[in-house]
Amino acid sequence: MNKNNNQNKPIIGISIGDVNGIGPEVVIKSFLDHRVLKHMVPVIYCSSKVISYYRKKLELEQFNYHQIRSINDLHYKKVNVFTFNDDNIEAQCGQVTSQAGKYAFKSLEKACDDLTNGEIHGLVTSPINKNNIQSDGFSFPGHTEYLGDKFGQKENLMFMVSDSLRVGVVTGHIPLKEVSSAINKDLILAKLKIMNKSLQKDFGIQKPKIAVLGLNPHAGEGGLLGEEEIKIIKPALDEFKQKGNLVFGPFPADGLFGSGQFNKYDAILAMYHDQGLVPFKSLTFEEGVNFTAGLDIVRSSPDHGTAYSIAGKNEASQNSFTKALFLAKDVIVNRRAQKNENS
């Protein structure tokens, strides 16, 4: 189709994730509102059989799509479903199967290849099962680590984003007992630099204000409950601050979130996964988005998992997935604008 009138719309690739979870449902529901197509051109990497199965099962037959087998066949005013030539996948709602894991990786790999080749402009990943996707090609704790390796930028940041709150983590998918030994000054500085740059480049905040959490209860209570704040975290913040950046802390996590003081900052840097994601999801559930900062490519995802227990029951909310789509679109637009300003 002639794309002249639509060439500025970002082309967003969507990896389908585990077809037995709620991924296909939230993807379909996100495009029931046709106004979404005014802002982006979606490409869903998934068998048309799977899409048709959920369309019928969930009684969402008002959802229409354009089937393609090549990006060259893209329709710029419709939802595109990229179907592989050798597709033989079948959905089994709520079941954990090796077939679904293999297909989740197949979808992700093709989307990444098209992203690398500039065929699509951004990627939104549907939820995977981190166990059944493991293979020779995917031996990572999650999407974030895979994408960092795939695009040669292992130093990136899991950045949870909503309209009212942004939270990044120094350590991601590692056991809690390993967090203290994993944290060091250089790592904190690296995450701060990525967060600060992303806030500027991706979110258009010229002079970001960042709050950093301590590791221990009460941020160590002056060394009484731990010394990481004194020996590691504060020296990192002091060095970052000396370069003209607005960084504050380390703060006790419970106090910062419980008092509502987090609202004073553009982003919060937590020391470990649950320290940041528990308050984030409590405050923004179904509205939050997982964004991978620090990559040259644009990637976002909903902040929920496969939710097998409600798969195929028409109970899943598409809110987070829709937010992920629009965040990817907004970041692409922001990066384009900055590139044009600097050219």
Q: What is the pLDDT of residues 62-104, one digit of tens each?
A: 999 999 999 999 999 999 999 988 788 999 999 999 999 999 9
Q: Which residues fall within 8 angstroms of residue 181, CB to CB, at 6 or more apart?
A: none
pLDDT of residue 341: 77
Instruction: Convert the pLDDT of each residue in 152-206 to its tens digit.
Output: 988 899 999 999 999 999 998 899 999 999 999 999 999 999 999 999 999 999 9
Could you tell me if 157 and 191 are in contact, meaning their C-beta atoms sit under 8 angstroms apart?
yes
283 and 343 housed in the same domain: no
- Confidence band (pLDDT; 50, 70, 90) for 2? very low
10 and 131 housed in the same domain: yes
Instruction: Give the domain extent around 214.
Output: 157-292
99 and 188 housed in the same domain: no
C-alpha distances (whole Å) from 205 to each of 51, 159, 202, 272 are: 39, 15, 8, 25
The share of the chain scoring above pLDDT 90, in percent, equals 89
Instruction: Convert the pLDDT of each residue in 232-271 to its tens digit.
Output: 999 999 999 999 999 999 999 999 999 999 999 999 999 9
191 and 332 housed in the same domain: no
Q: What is the DSSP string of 91-149?
A: --TT---HHHHHHHHHHHHHHHHHHHTTSSSEEEEPP--TTTT-SSS--SSSHHHHHHH
127 and 200 housed in the same domain: no
CATH code of the domain containing 168: 3.40.718.10
pLDDT of residue 232: 98
21 and 120 housed in the same domain: yes
299 and 150 housed in the same domain: yes
What is the domain count for the chain? 2
Among 28-32, 60-64, 82-86, 307-311, the minimum mean pLDDT is found in 82-86
| Rounded distance between C-alpha atoms, residue 247 and residue 192, angstroms | 9
12 and 123 housed in the same domain: yes
109 and 172 housed in the same domain: no
Supply the pTM of this predicted model.
0.91
Q: How many CA atoms lie within 13 A of 78 on its CB side?
A: 13
pLDDT of residue 343: 66
